Structure formats: C-alpha cells, structure tokens
Structure 1
Amino acid sequence: MPSDLISLAPADPADIPAFKKELQDAFAVAVVDEFGALPDGPIPSDEVLDAAIAAPNAVVLRILRDGQKVGGAVLTIDRETHHNELDLFFVKRGEEGRGIGLRAWLAIEQMFPETITWQTHTPYFEKRNIHFYVNKCGFRIIEFFNKHHGHPDERFQEDLPGGHDEAFQFEKVMKGTGNLSRSRSR
C-alpha cells in the first residue's frame, strides 16, 4: 500500500523536456479558465522556462509522491544573502487537490533552512495560486504589478496571455528579520 510520501529530488537533465511539458500543461488550466483558450504557444513559453532553468543559482526539483513524478519547482537560491525565490512551482494535472503542493512547499522550506525570505509571483487571475501562497503557505502580497507599475522582468510580462501584465509579488519571511517586507532591493 503506498504511503503517499512527498519528497524532492533534483531534476535529471534528460527529464527537462517532460518537466517543461507538465509545467505548461498545469499552467494552461488557469489560462483556459480565464481566457477560454491558450494563446499561440504554451504558457510559460519554452524560452522563459529555458532561461529560468539555466539561470545562475537555479535549482530544478522534481516533486515525488511515493517515488513517482507529480510536479516540480524551479528555485533561485542565493547562498550568500539567503533571500531566495520560488520561480516556478507546479503540481501535475490530475494530481491537484491532494495536498501535494503544500507538502512539497514545506519540504522545500526544510531543504533550505537557512532561507531568510522567499519571494514568488503569480498572475492576478490565478486565484488558486493566490489562495495557496497566502492562505496555505504563509506568504504576504508585497507588490502589485500592472500597466502603471511594471514587473522588473520583461519576459514575465510578455509571457502573459492577452497582453495582461497584472501580477502579485509575494514574500514569506522565514527567520532573522522580524516582519520586514521588501527585505532586498531589486
């Protein structure tokens, strides 16, 4: 009988094409729900994913349930400042609603106990993510990107469907900084 154990493992380079496809399939659900269809090409684009995966300090992880791949994450880990980023996070389609995401996030926190802050972002229309980050994981919304206040990474804005450039920036303070928000400059 399976134990429903959630664990993390570094993504194998040979697995990156499947990782990207599963991530894009998972992200497509909210886009289709909000806009009725996907724009030309997947969301996020292959170029955005390739850049995130190849970025300096990137850590690409597979989320495993009883040893089977059920999701993944791309992190940026700054081993000097310990202000880290959750760049991409997904639970594979068909696996959502089982508590996998929260258990995987808690495992990521345990994997990087020296972290002072975590930051991530999500499009404004992705209510599932907003609920997950704020109500389940303990993040706070610290910034709202829109046409009057653009996201510093232009690739992020270009990748949203329909020219929508509204997104939330989240932060979770882990230790050593009290309740400071915006604890690092861009």
Structure 2
Amino acid sequence: MNKTKIHLLPVSRDELSTFKTELQETFTAALVDQFSQFGSEPIPSDDDINESFNAQGAVIRHIFYGQEKIGGVVLKINEDTQHNSLDLFFIYPKHHGKGFGLATWKTIEATYPDTKVWSTVTPYFEKRNIHFYVNKCGFQIVEFFNKNHLEKNEKARSTDPHDTSDSSEEEFFKFEKVMIQKT
C-alpha cells in the first residue's frame, strides 16, 4: 500500500452528524465481533463524541485513500505542550486488515511532526486495537483503568457509594508513544 495516498480532510459542521453515525456504526461492529449481545445505547455515546468534537484543540478529519473515504479520526492537539491525543479513530470494517490503519497513523504522525507524546485509550477487550497500537504503531501501555484504579481527570468516575451506575465495570488501557525529536 502506498501510504502517500492517505489524506486527512476536514469534517465540516454539516457533516458532523453523519461522521458521528459512521463512527458509532464502526465501533458497534467491533463490539458485535467480541460479544454476542450488548446494550442498545450507541458506542461511544453521543455525549462522549460531542465532548471530543468540542474539546479545546479538537481536529476532526475524514480519512481518504485516494478518492475513497475509508474512515475518520478525532485528534486533540495541544500546540503549547505538544502532548497530543488520539481521541477517536475508525476505519470502516470493509477496509480492515489491509494496512489502512497503520498508513493513516503514519500520515497523522507526519502531519504533526512536533508532537512530543501521543496518547490514546482503548477498552481492555479490544485485542485488535491493543495489537495495533503496541505492535504496529509503537505505543506502550502506561496505565490500566479499572474499578480499583479509576480515571483521575475531569471524567473521573464517581466514588459516591450511593452511585448505582456501572461505570466501575469499564476497563481500559491508556497508551502513550514518546516521539523521538529530530534535532
């Protein structure tokens, strides 16, 4: 595959609803592969997606291979610290296993060459994602969030003993990739 044919094109405001639907359909397809049944709520939730879309430094892009749209990505770029994050990343299922994910990641890295650290998260059961980030893209697992080690930022899980939500069952890995700075 010629990675130079991967292009990241801006998502317009008018396209956000379709982009969100395509993202949720792709993530749902991955869940169907892992589990025979799951809740009827969209994955990720509308609230989580909207939070990523509206975050400071959010960059929302379609992924094109030549003239064909093959997925999408939401990045968070911090121009001050250059500690950037990959918030949402999807390749349509019909394009899985063809090298598009890695070619896209290389394009992202080339687009943001000043990045010092990339970070992302993925659910513990997403073995394909874990393989991709660690073995293909060079990320390292730096943290495992679970009921005994909850997220400590503004999305922190509730520690209220009266909270009956099931968020403590969410388990995911945090990945980081420290970039080698060219001098």
Structure 2 residue 169 is matched with structure 1 residue 164: yes
Identity of aligned residues (%): 47
Q: Which moved further from structure 2: 163-172 or 125-134?
A: 163-172
Which amino acid is 1:107 matched to? T
TM-score for both structures, normalised by structure 2: 0.86
1:150 equivalent to 2:155? Answer no
Aligned to 2:120: 120
1:135 corresponds in structure 2 to: 135
Structure 2 residue aligned with 1:104? 104
Instruction: Provide the rounded CA distance (Å) in 2 between the counterparts of 1:156 and 1:18.
Output: 29
Quick check: 2:122–2:174 contact (8 Å CA) kept in 1?
A: yes
Shift of 1:30: 2.6
1:5-16 matches, cutoff 5 A = 5-16=5-16
> How far 1:29 sits from its partner (Å)?
2.2
Change in CA separation of 1:149 and 1:162 when aligned onto 2, cut-off 3 Å: closer
Cα distance in 2 for partners of 1:13, 1:84 equals 22
| 2:148 counterpart SS class | coil
Give the 4+ runs in structure 1 shifted more than 4 A: 153-158
Partner of 2:162: none
- Give the partner amino acid of 2:121: H
Number of equivalences: 173
Per-residue CA deviations over 1:103-141 (Å, capped at 9, x if unaligned) read 011000001000000000000000010000000000000
Q: List aligned pairs for 1:83-98, cutoff 5 A.
A: 83-98=83-98
RMSD: 2.4
Q: Please give the alpha-carbon distance, in whole angstroms, between the structure 2 residues aligned to 1:68 and 1:55.
A: 28
In the alignment, structure 2 segments of 5+ residues that lack a partner are: 159-165
* Structure 1 residue ranges without an equivalent (≥5): 177-186
What's the offset of the Cα at 1:154? 7.2
What amino acid maps onto 1:165 in structure 2?
A: E
CA contact (8 A) 2:150 2:156 kept: no
Aligned position for 2:71 = 71
Aligned counterpart, 1:18: 18
Contact 1:121 1:170 in 2 (8 A): yes
